[in-house]
Amino acid sequence: MGYVQAMKPPGSQGSQSTYTDLLSVIEEMGKEIRPTYAGSKSAMERLKRGIIHARALVRECLAETERNART
């Protein structure tokens, strides 16, 4: 799955692409739910990585929102 992406320096991408990345990670995570529930360890690991990645993207989106609110 496409969870791992290179970290980009702040300001190199807009909030729209960060949000789009977040939506795609969440969509990919949804595909791992059923196999994880069925006991697939590899799906569980992919889901864990997806959660970690999604949390980072949420932080980026929140930081961008705060920056935009100040200006």
| 23-69 pLDDT, tens digit each | 999 999 999 999 999 999 999 999 999 999 999 999 999 999 999 99
Helix 15-37 vs helix 41-70: angle between axes, to the nearest 10 degrees? 160
Q: What is the pTM of this model?
A: 0.74
